[in-house]
Amino acid sequence: MLNMVITGLIIVLLSMREKEVKLDRMWMLPVIVAVAIFFNISQVPLTGLTLLFYIMFLVIGCGIGLWRAWMERLRVDALTGKVMSKGSMGTAIVLIIIMLVKHYISTLDVHHSVVALSSALLFIPLGSIAARRFIIYYRVRHMQAAKV
């Protein structure tokens, strides 16, 4: 349980600090997460129900990512001209709740449906990360076009 508390604190601290938006690297994390998830779900037999779970949680994750992206504050640094972003406490709390639900479900019985649900929950962060980064990319490009 201590590792959950430490992870939650790290999520809050990282999401609340202001950081530079690097457009050329925005695609890396979604790809890394997708590869890790696909290695994880390759252990679970693919059925119609698991595929439905994957799609459902990916759509939910995309919705959360869209919400997180619109909650993110973007600004152009006056000194450097770089675009900076800063998250909000609400987005950090959503991530912590998802992490806790995933942990709780993984402690349940090892029946196939529980394992499939636990694996499907991994698609929420994937959708969230991908959608959030897509919207932030769009917003930064829009800011840069308006500036020129």
Domain ranges of the chain: 2-147
Highest mean pLDDT, choosing among 59-63, 66-70, 75-79, 96-100: 59-63
- Measured CA to CA in angstroms, residue 110 lies from 39, 63, 106, 113 at distances of 19, 29, 8, 8
Q: Which helix (H) or strand (E) holds 20?
A: strand 19-20
Over the stretch 101-117, which tens digit does the pLDDT of each residue have?
Answer: 777 776 766 665 666 77
Q: What is the pTM of this model?
A: 0.79
Interstrand relation of 83-86 and 19-20 (parallel, antiparallel or unpaired): antiparallel
Amino acid (one-letter) located at 19 = K
